[in-house]
Amino acid sequence: MAKGSINVSVENIFPLIKKFLYSDHEIFLRELISNATDATLKLKHLTSIGEAKVAYGNPQIEVKIDKDNNTLHIIDQGIGMTAEEVEKYINQVAFSGAEEFLDKYKDSAKDSGIIGHFGLGFYSAFMVANKVEIITKSYLENEPAAHWTCDGSPEFTLEPHDKTERGTEIILHITEDDKAFLEESKISELLVKYNKFMPIPIKFGTKTETLPKPEGAKEEDPAPTQDVDNIINNPNPAWTKQPTDLEDEDYKSFYRELYPMQFEEPLFHIHLNVDYPFNLTGILYFPKMTNDLNVQKDRIQLYQNQVFVTDNVEGIVPEFLTMLRGVIDSPDIPLNVSRSYLQADGAVKKISSYITRKVADKLKSLFNNNREDFEKKWDDIKIVIEYGMLSEDKFFEKADAFALYPTVDGKYYTYDELYNAIKAKQTDKDDKLVILYASNKEEQHSYIESAKAKGYEVLLLDSPIVSHLMQKLETTKENISFARVDADHIDNLIKKDDTKISKLSEEEKTTLDELLKTVIPAEKFTVQLEAMDSDAAPFIITQPEFMRRMKE
């Protein structure tokens, strides 16, 4: 039996790790399962290149609760460790065996999916345990198993063990304060949150499966059952596959897997897949949007090599796309670092602009391939697109080709189409294009009718941010201005025909004029007692566009 001191430069690093390394106690399980996964993936890699002369088989990871002994066990069938390796990898805090492995096997292992990074994950066990044991047997022949025990002080013991099968068992003696981690429901919840899509099957208990009744069974006979391993994860989630291997239905069923409580189907998806200059995969979904900009509960989830990290993707995904759903997986996003650091990180910036570009490209292809369908979806997606046009200039440039401007009559124009349709009629004295719009079809009905009678197009722009978008268009496009149908600006449009019709007699006009003057302030409104067409109301009160916008 060997005895020694853990080799750390800072005397009491444990209390520090326990308190400050991770804000969340619960991530210890994610870290230990990540290590078990790495150990298994390393074995997979070594067998595939012929360096390990053992059968890889169908290894799984098991999580077990032993309530009688207050212990939680994480058991894998991976490469295991020799006693020397325990000394090297475990006793040296902040030495990452994962990084060493990736370094040693370089190119051949770069796609192996190895998770570990900083050589600190293992010690997160001490956040919930006052004693940790490792029982491990290396895949190497004739290496005895080793048993390491440590109570959270820098002292440890290392002795031989009689374990015969390859792999590692980590035993956590859970502290009184953390007893919750001995509850099946708690562990189940954590496994679903962090490990649902990890690449090696994870067993947690068993479940009872109903089998088909044997032939000739009677109606009243109960169907036979059998106990099978309860595997909590899907090791091959859709985003790790090639888009060409997936059907539309596969994307939909993956959406249901991600958000089991979401009953509405997504409108469409975007499969992200890039490996240069950074590595990123994922699937984004456009859900049906409402005008409600509140943060939603079902958010984009960030993964690193299939390990859940967070569903707060602020800083990684451009803000206007945080309304989407789905997953992003990248080993290149620095984890466990502050958000402000993330925003300044070069790789993260590139990721963000890549995502913006992919989303714009997808929208463009949907528009090009099936315009009718795109128009049908417009109301559900416009909020994201308009918000994106306002906040990201790159997106604005791309969206110009597919952003739609619906008319009150249900026609949909792109900006260029709109321009061509109205340029002949809707220009004012200064040759400025005047784009008319209504924000409420019912309230502005008579103004809309009157404008239409003059041969003008009236857009229906009613999303909450559209006034900002109009301002953006007015400053971006040359010589245009928006005017609401009930603004007096309309009168400045070039008119082909100046004959005005009135439903009122001269006498009525005079009386009404005098009456209106007393109730309506002339500096704020314009009263018009004639209309261009006979269908319109007998008189119209308009308000200058600038006055109206001032109120918003």
- To the nearest whole angstrom, how small is the minimum distance from the Cβ of residue 95 to ligand ADP? 7
List helix spans (H) across 122-205: 184-195
Q: Which of 65, 90, 360, 404 binds ligand ADP (CB under 6 A)?
A: 90
Least spacing, CB of residue 79 vs ligand ADP, in Å: 6
Give the nearer residue to Mg ion in terms of CB position, either 116 or 237.
116
Q: Residue 36 or residue 461: which is nearer to ligand ADP going by CB?
A: 36
Q: Where are the beta strands (DSSP E) in 151-210?
A: 155-161, 167-174, 202-210
Q: Is 116 in the site for Mg ion (CB under 5 A)?
A: yes
Distances (CA, A) of 45 to 104, 112, 509: 12, 7, 91
Question: Least Å distance between CB 277 and Mg ion?
Answer: 26
Query: Taking CB under 6 A as the rule, does residue 63 contact ligand ADP?
Result: no
What is the nearest approach in angstroms of Mg ion to the Cβ of residue 358? 31
Alpha-carbon distance values, 515 to 192, 446, 537 (Å): 72, 22, 17
Is position 420 annotated in a ligand binding site?
Answer: no
* 266 belongs to the binding site for Mg ion (CB under 5 A): no
Find the shortest distance in angstroms from Cβ 97 to Mg ion: 8
Interface characters, 138-177, with ligand ADP (x: CB under 6 A): ------------------------------x---------
Residues 6+ apart with CB under 8 A from 344: none
Long-range contacts: 94-103, Cβ < 8 Å, 24+?
94/118, 94/119, 94/120, 95/119, 98/38, 101/38, 101/42
Q: Pattern of binders to Mg ion over 2-41, x per CB under 5 A?
A: ---------------------------------x------
H or E element: which one contains 45? Answer: helix 27-48
Compute the half-sphere exposure of residue 106: CA atoms within 13 Å on the CB side of its CA. 1
Stretch that binds ligand ADP, among 75-83, 154-162, 231-239, 307-315 (CB under 6 A): 75-83
Q: Give 229's contacts (C-beta < 8 A, 6+ positions apart).
A: 60, 203, 206, 207
Q: Kindly tell me which of 118 and 546 has the beta carbon lying closer to ligand ADP.
A: 118
The reply to whether 97 sits near ligand ADP by the rule CB under 6 A is yes
How many residues interact with ligand ADP (rule CB under 6 A)? Answer: 23
From residue 202, how far is each of 85, 124, 234, 238, 510 by CA, in Å? Answer: 25, 20, 9, 18, 86
Q: How many helices (H) and strands (E) does the chain have?
A: 15, 21
198 has binding-site annotation: no
Q: Where are the alpha helices (DSSP H) in 311-444?
A: 339-344, 346-369, 371-391, 393-399, 415-422
Shortest Å distance, C-beta 181 to ligand ADP: 18
Helix (H, G, I), strand (E, B) or coil at 154: coil
Nearest distance from C-beta of residue 73 to ligand ADP, angstroms: 12
Separation CA 239–CA 241 (nearest Å):
5
546 binds, among ligand ADP, Mg ion, none (CB under 5 to 8 A by kind): none
Choosing from 17, 43, 72, 120, the residue that interacts with ligand ADP (CB under 6 A) is: 120
Looking at 115-123, 411-419, 433-441, 494-502, which segment touches ligand ADP (CB under 6 A)? 115-123
Q: Which of 82, 91, 96, 330 binds ligand ADP (CB under 6 A)?
A: 96
Distance of closest approach, residue 81 Cβ to ligand ADP, in angstroms = 5
Identify the residue among 21, 65, 98, 171 touching ligand ADP (CB under 6 A): 98
Residue 166 CB, shortest distance to Mg ion, in Å, is 19
Residue 326 binding: pick among Mg ion, ligand ADP, none (C-beta 5-8 Å cut-off by kind): none
Residue nearest to ligand ADP (CB): 97
Which parts of 199-238 interact with ligand ADP (CB under 6 A)?
none
Q: How far is the CB of 177 from ligand ADP (least distance, A)?
A: 23
**Which parts of 121-140 interact with Mg ion (CB under 5 A)?**
121
Q: Closer to ligand ADP at the Cβ: 119 or 237? A: 119
CB 435 within 8 Å of CB 481: yes
Using CB under 6 A, which of the segments 16-24, 30-38, 143-151, 488-496 binds ligand ADP?
Answer: 30-38
Query: Is the separation of the CB atoms in 80 and 4 below 8 Å?
Result: no
Is 188 labeled as ligand-binding?
no
Q: Out of 17, 21, 29, 39, which residue is the one contacting ligand ADP (CB under 6 A)?
A: 39
Q: Which residues pair with 207 in a beta bridge?
A: 228
* First-residue to last-residue Cα distance in the chain: 78
Q: Does residue 121 touch ligand ADP according to CB under 6 A?
A: yes
Closest CA to 280 of 253, 311, 305, 243: 305
Query: Distance between CA atoms of 210 and 127, rounded to whole angstroms?
Result: 40
314 contacts: CB under 8 Å, gap ≥ 6: 322, 339
Separation CA 379–CA 413 (nearest Å): 14
Count of residues making up the chain: 552
CA 488 to chain CA mean position, Å: 45
Number of other residues whose CB lies within 10 A of the CB of residue 539:
18
**Among the residue ranges 32-40, 242-250, 413-421, 521-529, the one whose residues contact ligand ADP (CB under 6 A):** 32-40
Is 322 labeled as ligand-binding? no
152 labelled binding-site residue: no
Q: What residue ranges bind Mg ion (CB under 5 A)?
A: 35, 116, 121
Q: Which residues of the chain form contacts with ligand ADP (CB under 6 A)?
A: 31, 35-36, 38-39, 76, 78-81, 89-90, 96-98, 116-122, 168
The binding site for ATP comprises 31, 35, 76, 81, 96-97, 168, 339
